[in-house]
Chains A and B, each alone.
Chain A
Amino acid sequence: MYSRTYKTLVSIPPLLWVSLFLLLPYALMFAHSFWAVQDGVVVHQWNLQNYATLFSKPVYAEVLLRTMRIAASVTLCSLLLGYPLAYYLSFHAGARKELLYQLVIVPLWVSYLVRGYAWKTILGSEGVLNGFLQYLHLTHEPLAFLLYSPFAVVLMLTHIYTPFVFLPIYAALEHIPRPLVEASHDLGAGSAQTFLRVILPLSIPGLLAGATFAFVLSLGDFLAPLLVGGPSGTMIANVVQSLFGAALDWPLGAAISVCILLVIISLLLLTERLEKRWSFK
């Protein structure tokens, strides 16, 4: 058994970390959202004006809705890419498994910014893709929707978050005991039925974890819309950023952040419950 002193000593660093870098900033953010700003200076006047502004001006709801739509699209696209990839690797890749796994992980080592600029070069009106399409005479002028659009944001975020979706699904699939798959075949189920009746249900916790990653990370993303989003691809984090930056309206920015935080917390609670419902230990 460990002594009381030892337990106290080892618990101090993490407690300090959590209070300094997590609890304190959140408390400040929460407090700011009930303060006001006068002549560009935050004044500690408790009020609900920020929340009133949020709910009365439709632009905020619009951006929040667009953000959720983009996050949902990213989630769906990375699930559609990540699940089959994880399934193939876990069940059919054989000896190539290790290599393919590394190939999926490698993009995570490349800086987010570099990947963002890469998409800019690919999608731009003078970009690689448009040049190629015109070279093939498939199009006669650059396709405008490729860059500076919600499409570009979804594309870039899907590219970035697919490995995050892949990993938990792959882990869940790897944990399915193979005799269960054999038992299913043995009892008369072909590959499709075995997938639907055994593999898919048992991989749902991984699927939920992956989907949560993609959705939550996309929801708070501001670099992708900044780099490839354009005005029509602006997301809620960009609004927060400009309120804290150029607009110098920290209280309103904090109020939006609190709203996003509430959305994310309810989402996490929901997926946690769902994951419990679908885990069979």
Chain B
Amino acid sequence: MNPSAASSAETAPAAGEVLLEVRGLAKSFGARDVLKDISLNIASGELLTLLGESGSGKTTLLRLVAGFEQPTAGEIWMSGERLDTLPPYKRRVNTVFQHYALFPHLSVRENVAYGLRVKKTSAAEIGGRVEEALRMVKMQEFAESRPSKLSGGQQQRVALARALINRPLLLLLDEPLSALDANLRKQMQSELKSLQRELGITFLFVTHDQEEAMALSDRIALLRDGSLEQVASPREIYAHPATAYTAQFIGQTNLLRGEIVNGTARCGALQWPAQGPSGPAIFSLRPEAIRFASDNVAASGTARFRAAVQQQFFSGASELLEVNCGGQLLRVRISARGPLSGEHNFVFSAADAIRVQE
């Protein structure tokens, strides 16, 4: 494809088609391998989150896509065009920076207009598009303010408008909400999501906050030590974590390290029917999969056990119990029902104990 034609094309690929393709991408800083052999596709119109702990390489991956770093190996393609060989200013990708990086010497209006001004867009068009962008993020009344006069949430909106004015095919967001307080964060999450739906722009979103990732994403790509641990939708990754790490990182879980013997899984005092060859196995059992049981008689396909309540954490609609089952500590999430003590009967379905890899 002719590169200039591709970069000037106003049309993004149809929703669902592959927009960004990362092939065998690796990045080292000196002897430190920050990213190892990452391959990932992002569909047009998708909101994909790069989730991981600090040092997992998520920001580095974002910076490679933006063009601020050069890959050590591998390629990045965007709608049929090689991206990683282009300088950042020629990529149809824009970034919302972690601390917004608004130009302190320019007003809100000039900040938003920056992308158009450097491209020598006509003054009339700049005026119209800046107004539109400011209206989109509800910041018209602050157009003449300097960034230092704005609150964190307002700066966030300006950064968003500034990044979107160039009509990028892909918007990169580097922990954009991490500097905001909890309430504002929830509100901005909701606004970001509706904005993304409205504009149909593909978002690549970096966060270390798994709740945020779950709430916002179409798909989550979980990074661990520079490698992709799992890429799936939030519901899928929660219900079927591939590894023990994923199960623990996404939501809360009980990791049961035991073994399978002749179609029965055993872990301490617990046992339940499980498929698979005999041998050691790890299972993830979500706290909400465990319920109170009326008696101690096992029905088929379930596991029943008796355990003493050790701790109780009230959190409004639900509460989390820590129960002791023959020396093994299990977490149980139940709907709020008042103070508990002593031994109780619990049950979980064998289907909820998900076998995971180490």
Q: Contact residues of A with B, CB < 8 Å?
A: 177, 179-180, 182-190, 193, 197-198, 201-202, 278, 280-281
Contacts and interface: CB of A to CB of B under 8 A. Distances in A.
25 contacts: A180-B104, A182-B66, A182-B68, A182-B88, A182-B95, A182-B97, A182-B101, A183-B102, A183-B103, A183-B162, A184-B103, A184-B114, A185-B87, A185-B88, A186-B95, A187-B118, A187-B162, A188-B119, A189-B89, A189-B114, A193-B118, A197-B117, A197-B118, A202-B105, A280-B104
Contacts of B104: 180, 202, 280-281
A202 B101 CA distance: 13
Given A201-B105, A280-B104, A190 B97 contact: no
A177 B101 contact: yes
Interface string B315-341: 000000000000000000000000000
Contact of A280 (B68, B105, B163): B105
B70 interface: no
B114 A187 contact: yes
A190 B99 contact: no
Contacts of A189: 89, 114, 118
Given A182-B97, A190-B89, A280 B114 contact: no
B146 interface: yes
Given A189-B89, A280-B146, A183 B101 contact: yes
A179 B97 contact: yes
A188 B167 CA distance: 12
A185 B102 CA distance: 13
Interface residues of B, number: 27
Contact of B114 (A197, A201, A278): A197
Interface of B: 66-68, 87-89, 93-95, 97-99, 101-105, 114-115, 117-119, 146, 148, 162-163, 166
A180 B117 CA distance: 16
Contacts of B102: 183
Contacts of A182: 66, 68, 88, 95, 97, 101
B192 to A, nearest CB: 18
Contacts of B103: 180, 183-184, 198
B115 A188 contact: yes
A197 B115 CA distance: 12
A187 B94 contact: yes
A188 B105 contact: no
A182 B96 CA distance: 11
B161 to A, nearest CB: 12
A177 B68 CA distance: 14
A280 B146 CA distance: 9
A29 B98 CA distance: 57
Given A193-B118, A281-B148, A188 B89 contact: yes
B101 A188 contact: no
Given A188-B89, A188-B118, A183 B97 contact: yes
A30 B103 CA distance: 47
A250 B45 CA distance: 82
Contacts of A201: 105
A186 B76 CA distance: 17
The winner among B94, B98, B102, B103 for most chain A CB atoms within 10 A is: B103
A203 B208 CA distance: 35
A177 B166 CA distance: 23
Nearest to A202: B105
